Amino acid sequence: MDERGPTDATVCPLCAVGCHLAPGDGDRAEGRAGPANPEGRLCQKGVTAFEGIDGRLTEPRVREGGALVSTGWSRAYERVVEGIEAAVAAAGPDAVAFLGAPNSTNEENYLLGKLARTLGTNNVDNRARHCHVSTARALAERFGWPATTGSLEGLSDADVILVVGANPAARQPVAFNSFVRPAVTDGTTLIHVDPVGNRTTRLADVHLAPRPGTDALVLDLLCERVLDDGAADEAFVEARTNGFEDFASELGDLDDAAGVDAAGLDADALGRVGRLVGEADRVAAIVGTGIEANGESADDGDDDDGRDHGAADSLLNLLLLTGNVGRRGSGLSVFRGPPNEQGAIDAGCVPDRLPGHQPVTDPDARARVAAEWGVEPPARPGTPATDLLTEFGESVRAAVVVGENPAVSKRDPDWVRRRLGALDHLTVVELAEHETTAYADVVLPAAAGVEKVGTVTNLDRQIQRLRPVVDPPEGARTDFRILCDLAARLSGVEANFEYAGPAEVFAELTRVAPTHAGVEYADLAAGSYRWPADEAVLYRDRFETPDGRAPFVSPPTRSPGGAVEPDSDADARGGLDLVVGGRAGEADGDGPTDRRLRVHPTDAERIGVEPGDSVAVSGGDCSVETTATLDGSVRQGTAFLHAAVADPLVRAGASTVRVEPF
Ligand SMILES: Nc1nc2c(c(=O)[nH]1)N[C@H]1C(S)=C(S)[C@@H](COP(=O)(O)OP(=O)(O)OC[C@H]3O[C@@H](n4cnc5c(=O)[nH]c(N)nc54)[C@H](O)[C@@H]3O)O[C@H]1N2
Ligand SMILES: Nc1nc2c(c(=O)[nH]1)N[C@H]1C(S)=C(S)[C@@H](COP(=O)(O)OP(=O)(O)OC[C@H]3O[C@@H](n4cnc5c(=O)[nH]c(N)nc54)[C@H](O)[C@@H]3O)O[C@H]1N2
Ligand code: SF4
Ligand SMILES: [Mo]
């Protein structure tokens, strides 16, 4: 049990690092030492944690004659209940969708899942898990749990830190500055794999800039180098893994030269990285949203099971091959986004898993839940969030959205708005009105993270207590209370939803979720607790798989003939490979979003673009306008745009773009 951390602080509501903070001068937040910010640091975003929220909702609203009008709680609840009950009556419980809640607590996510499942549907999901969906899937399938395998503080023991498709220096700055930077200062080698340089690159010893979308191939080539150099950890492979022979033989078929060419890399640079990884005793990898992309959008709606993405699988192969799982300073860290993205998944706010990552298809797991709920959850997995939206107005007639803004956070806003508009009933539980509330039949005013109690789980599995360090506006209620109130009013929900508070729900969660077994809410008072069993390092002796071993999977980047998939050079196509960053949100860490096109000076000269020129960037049937800036850290042949600008191009399916000055 980690006892660090004060008791008058709460957890930052703005990202998954989970720094401790308290109200400071004016409306600024002040950092307090906590497990994720041991020096009490905050980032520039964190200090704004207490800034007022524009248009904060203070009373429920219901749609009357086309407009949202203020009303009392009982009338609002009645409308929600009518909406849900009508949908269930017409088409059964699967006609209702529940979307939440990476900004809500573990207990609130648990209650949302319990509400959906005791109503009779597994249609419960949270949007934010999609930013790391293929990594989470690979981890769960092959190691056991969709979570960071080690700890932030363990990074100090790494000899090599390999960051792939992420910019933690800007996106999770306190974790980066508290754990990665000191390690690097102490001699850890930082390798950054990203088609463009960013703030993280500034600290890196090596920047490997492959063509966008080729990460799986690059990582396969690294595995090949490690094998060729005789640097594989044979004892680990023998004792802890399955499928090595097939894996090695398929790697042997990889056409090295073609692969290096397709990835657009320098063979010597790749060889150097292969040696650094192979010779290091401990290698820790960090991934972000860039590894999900592989030239596609991470949010294109087609990647729910992530199976078409091989990069995370290739990275796990590399870690297994070099024996880099199960020891401090090794493993894979998933640098997640919103504050409780991990906890929402842990608590069962996903369509195919019950609390504690147990499959809904597992009869034992359902029985364990039924023993607590008195109602057995349905056995058939629900529909993932993006597909649920497709079903809005079709098989799904009503939806309850808790703390999400799908109208803008989904890839295609126009399409999403049409889908939201097609519902018979939409309830949105929110802090303020936004694009999604415009489609709501009922809007319920919620309390924010800094105003409530409960627990959240950060990006390295640390469960931490929230404390109400500011008062909610009069009229707002916690998601916790709202969900319990609704459950009590809904006919067809027979389970118990009467709780004295989050501590009781947390206790129930620990009885239902094996990952959380034995955690005492009271013990969380001063510090944090990593599930399972306060373990800083997962898989020390065995993987959480049926035989305790982790499988290699075959390199996904090869065509059946054994050659690397052909991919002509961007130059030959007369365009530039599009790289999209900032999918996580509008705001960059250190100021407003940079909306400029970033290109390499050599490309700029070829195209005839000067810094500051207005340019049209076109691809598919789409064109966006911005200004150009030259940046030697951008890979040649590549055009970098922030998601806020690139979204229309991504939607149009453009992976290569033309740049023209105008
Ligand atoms: N300040 C701030 N911090 C945030 C957020 C915010 O909105 N503002 N949002 C939070 C959220 S929700 C999330 S999910 C995280 C996201 O955190 P990150 O994933 O670290 O976010 P990005 O800055 O988009 O970094 C993605 C990187 O992937 C690279 N990339 C793009 N395509 C490829 C590719 O094919 N291969 C490789 N190797 N790299 C590629 C991009 O160039 C970019 O540098 O940030 C969180 N932190
Ligand atoms: N086009 C586009 N799509 C994207 C992204 C993008 O940048 N551009 N980013 C992607 C990424 S990485 C992510 S993580 C997702 C994020 O997608 P969403 O989860 O939809 O993220 P937000 O738009 O931040 O909406 C979160 C909402 O929760 C509310 N909220 C905060 N705290 C609470 C609370 O305690 N209770 C309740 N009830 N509400 C609360 C806030 O007011 C806010 O409206 O979007 C993804 N999709
Ligand atoms: S790094 Fe994340 S948790 Fe820490 S202060 Fe910044 S936004 Fe908050
Ligand atoms: Mo995210």
* CB of 531 closer than 8 Å to CB of 520: no
200 backbone φψ class: left, alpha, beta (φ>0; ψ -120 to 50): alpha
Q: Is the pLDDT of residue 303 over 50?
A: no
Beta bridge partners of 2: 528
Q: Is the CB of 132 under 6 A from ligand 2?
A: no
What is the pLDDT at residue 308?
Answer: 44
Average pLDDT over the chain reads 91
Q: Is the CB of 265 under 6 A from ligand 2?
A: no
Q: Among the atoms of ligand 3, which is closest to the Cα of residue 173?
A: 1
Which amino acid, 161?
Answer: I
Distance 588 CA to ligand 3 centre (A): 13
What is the pLDDT at residue 416?
Answer: 83
Residue of 10, 14, 47, 340 with the most ligand 3 atoms within 8 Å of its CB, for mutation: 14
Q: What span, in angstroms and rounded, lies between the C-alpha atoms of 37 and 340?
A: 17
Strand order in the sheet with 20-23: 10-11, 20-23, 29-32
Distance 71 CA to ligand 4 centre (A): 34
Q: What span, in angstroms and rounded, lies between the C-alpha atoms of 131 and 134?
A: 9
Q: Is the CB of 287 under 6 A from ligand 2?
A: no
Residue 355, Cα to own-chain centre: how many angstroms?
18
Q: Among the atoms of ligand 1, which is closest to the Cα of residue 165?
A: 39
Radius of gyration of the chain (CA): 24
Residue 63, both tokens:
């749609």
- 557-to-550, 552, 623 alpha-carbon distances in Å: 20, 14, 31
Q: Is the pLDDT of residue 2 over 70?
A: no
Q: Is the CB of 112 under 6 A from ligand 2?
A: no
What is the pLDDT at residue 141?
Answer: 96
- Rounded to a whole number of angstroms, the distance between the first and last alpha carbons of the chain is 61
pLDDT bracket for residue 404 (50, 70, 90): confident
Q: Is the pLDDT of residue 558 over 60?
A: no
Q: Is the pLDDT of residue 305 over 50?
A: no
Q: Is the pLDDT of residue 412 over 80?
A: no
* CB of 546 closer than 8 Å to CB of 607: no
Q: Is the pLDDT of residue 222 over 90?
A: yes
What is the pLDDT at residue 655?
Answer: 86
Q: Is the pLDDT of residue 363 over 60?
A: yes
Q: Model pTM?
A: 0.93
Distance 519 CA to ligand 3 centre (A): 25
Q: Is the pLDDT of residue 22 over 50?
A: yes
What is the pLDDT at residue 565?
Answer: 55
Classify residue 2 by burial, with Cβ atoms within 10 Å: 0-12, 13-18, 19+.
middle
pLDDT bracket for residue 153 (50, 70, 90): very high
Give the pLDDT confidence of 198-219 residue by residue, as tens digits: 999 999 999 999 999 899 999 9
Q: Among the atoms of ligand 2, which is closest to the Cα of residue 585?
A: 7
More confident: 196 or 557: 196
Give the pLDDT confidence of 65-88 residue by residue, as tens digits: 999 999 999 999 999 999 999 999
Residue whose CA is closest, atom 4 of ligand 1?
A: 171
Distance 393 CA to ligand 4 centre (A): 27
Q: Is the CB of 104 under 6 A from ligand 2?
A: yes
Q: Considering every ligand atom, which ligand is closest to the CA of 54?
A: 2
Percent of the chain exceeding pLDDT 90 equals: 80
What is the pLDDT at residue 600?
Answer: 95
Pick from 274-278, 349-353, 568-572, 575-579: least confident: 568-572
Residues 6 or more apart in contact with residue 646 via CB below 8 angstroms? 578, 580, 624
What is the pLDDT at residue 294?
Answer: 53
Residue of 20, 50, 172 with the most ligand 3 atoms within 8 Å of its CB, for mutation: 172
